[in-house]
Structure 1
Amino acid sequence: MIYHMIAFVGGFFLDLIMGDPYNFPHPVRWIGRLISAIEKHDLGEEDTKALSGEQKRRCGRRLVLLVCGTTILVTAFVLLLAYGIHPMAGCLVEMFLTYQTLALRCLCKESKKVYICLRDKTLEDARYAVSMIVGRDTQNLSPTGVAKAAIETVAENTSDGEIAPMLYLALGGPILGLTYKAINTMDSMVGYKNDRYSDFGRCAAKLDDLVNFLPARISALCLWVASVFLGKDYDAKRAWRIYRRDRYQHASPNSAQTEAMAAGSLGIRLAGDASYFGKIVNKPTLGDATRAIVYEDILRMNRLAYGAAVFCLLLCLGIMGLILAF
């Protein structure tokens, strides 16, 4: 457990310092390639295989088993091999895998690019920058729409990219942490409700809802605690009120949890209708428009996410300390 705690803290700070270097080998990229290969084998290019809905659902269940099973086996093998060589070697490998599982620095870095484009460059530059981190169509977004999209993705991914992985890493190390990332990656790649993926990605989407149920709520609480301590740009009382009112406004039971808390803390309105693959998707709004969204809100959201991550670190260390004590 001592080695696990050292690896956990070291991996957390490696992510804050280094982020995700471009063109660097990354387990999540390898998981993505595995998902893509299985998808193309089962569905063909552009859904060229004539499969029934039940056949697609069966393929989707097999995808989940193959990806999760492969992730668990490979991660366990690497860790056992490293710890078998020497405990310090195992600790260093676990630290590296922990670092690779977290993504807050990268997320905030990419959202800051959107902020810089809105401040110093053209709207087209800003639309392109935000298209790198969101799944919606961005070609017609206004400056406010671009800023709002960046804020929303940081708010949502504070859970998916940092808090939830931290909780699973604390409980089960990189084996559980990377398995969570595998589930999350499957949902982001095949969890869409369209003709190609509505059946094939159903199992992955439902499993993602399940594994994020508690972490999404803990993430919202971490954002609330950060709101208490971060100063006058944030309003913890309003954040709690908006959270209780709007946290179930999205179709997913989890995605509105952190967005509602962030909207309340910042005093802005998030969500609402958005375009995906050329089709308008109607969504309720989150929060009250007590003021207009400005591009500086992207940086405010980033600071809120960092504050939540620090509180989660303390929470996880407390959990691991209790496990060690007993």
Structure 2
Amino acid sequence: MLLYHTIALAAGYLLDLLIGDPRWLYHPVCLIGNLITLLEKGIRKIFPKTEKGELFGGFLEVILVCLISLGVPCAVLSTLYRYMPLAGLVLETFWCYQLLATKSLKDESMKVYDRLKNGTIEEARYAVSMIVGRDTSELTEEGVTKAAVETVAENSSDGVIAPMLYMALGGAPLMFLYKGINTMDSMLGYKNDRYLYFGRCAAKLDDLANYIPARISGWLMVAAAFLTGMDGKNAVKIYKRDRRNHASPNSAQTEAAVAGALRVQLAGNAYYFGKLYEKPTIGDKLREVEPEDIRRANRLLYGASVLSVLLCLGGRLLVQFLV
């Protein structure tokens, strides 16, 4: 199965680069999202609306989502590999392809670029609102561009490199487990009245699951800066200096590398749901942010993803040789 996992990872990555996510195909992350919503409704009916009740309810949600996200694909693939190995390989390749987001991240961010270059600021704000969580109605052209660049930077880790690393470690089942954890954080990990306690376990687990992948992603972004002809030395400088400039221990890792490579300043204050959140900046403002930086950020994304898949495949082939 080590060899099958290796082939599935390589083939799934290539399919992601070539095809991306077709809109007509139901995505497995949507199933995970539906599961999270369904379990939350049931659990909230059982546990009291107290601090301890919310914490225990959120903990139970995390346990159930993790067990199902890992257990279902594990059972399906184990059965197929035992009786129909080729079918198992095809399905694992397909799942790997679906759970990587390299091309879709590039395509969605380039829609913002297109509207900035060929449309109106309102159209650009709408395009970026599809890929960010902040308020976009008042963003300037610079604000729209920064939001798109930051999204490419941050999601290069949790949308591409981190799931790839988990796939390399444990095949599609571990990849599904990671996406379950990441999706829970996206849906439950808010510091508001509804999720402050219920979503705390999900948020902390996501921080833990991304801790090492985020740092690997940051260094791969730095390496990609050198390979793509950008400012690799500045990427190293800003990464070392600003990689902790975020409330999350992981989110600034790739943003710092990208800011340094592009020689721009990212992050800073932003509005969410009408409320201003003060955040530290990342990088030095050696020049103004421009729409072309979205294209440059995507080159860094592709460079880092290629380095990541080579790292993963090399590691798996080494394990295969040693075993």
* Fold shared per TM-score above 0.5: yes
Work out which of the residue numbers 295, 302, 309 in structure 2 matches 1:306.
302
Shift of 1:321: 1.3
Deviations 1:239-282 (A, max 9, x none): 00011110111111111010001000000000000011111111
Moved more, 80-89 or 290-299: 80-89
- Tell me the number of residue pairs that the alignment of Structure 1 and Structure 2 aligns: 320
Residue 319 of structure 1 is matched in structure 2 by 315
Q: Secondary structure at the match of 1:212?
A: helix
Matched, 1:99 2:74: no
Match of 1:270 among 266, 272, 284: 266
* Correspondence 1:224 to 2:222: yes
Q: Which residue of 2 aligns with 1:65?
A: 63
Q: Identify which of 249, 254, 277 aligns with 2:250.
A: 254
User: Residue 43 of structure 1: CA displacement?
Assistant: 4.1
2:43 and 2:61 in contact (8 A); partners too: no
Q: Which amino acid in the other structure matches residue 24 of structure 2?
A: N
Structure 1 position 209 matched with structure 2 position 210: no
In structure 2, the residue matched to 1:11 is 12
Please report how far the alpha carbon of residue 26 of structure 1 lies from its aligned counterpart in structure 2 after TM superposition: 1.7
Residue 276 (structure 2) aligned to one of 274, 280, 283: 280
Q: 1:296 aligns with which of 292, 296, 317?
A: 292
Aligned to 2:54: 56
2:187 matched to which residue of 1?
A: 189
- Per-residue CA deviation, residues 280-314 of structure 1 (Å, 9 max, x unaligned), is 11100000010000111001101100000000111
CA distance in 2 between counterparts of 1:35 and 1:131 reads 23
Tell me the secondary structure at the aligned position of residue 251 of structure 1.
coil
Which amino acid letter does the alignment assign opposite residue 95 of structure 2?
L
TM-score by length of 1: 0.96
For structure 1, which runs of at least 5 residues remain unmatched after alignment? none
Task: Provide the alpha-carbon RMSD of the alignment.
Answer: 1.2
- Kindly state the Cα deviation for residue 82 of structure 1 after the two structures are TM-superposed: 2.0
Q: Return the alpha-carbon distance in structure 1 between the equivalents of residues 41 and 108 of structure 2.
A: 29
- Supply the distance in 2 between the matched residues of 1:37 and 1:324 (Cα, whole angstroms): 40
Where does structure 2 lack aligned partners over 5 or more consecutive residues?
Answer: none
Q: Output the TM-score relative to the length of structure 2.
A: 0.97
Query: Which is further off, 58-67 or 19-28?
Result: 19-28
TM-superposed deviation, 1:84: 2.9
After superposing on structure 2, the runs of 4+ consecutive aligned residues of structure 1 that deviate more than 4 Å are none
Output the amino acid matched with 1:122: T
The Cα shift of 1:209 comes to 0.4
Name the SS of the counterpart of 1:24 in structure 2. Answer: coil
Q: Distance in 1 between matches of 2:57 and 2:173?
A: 24
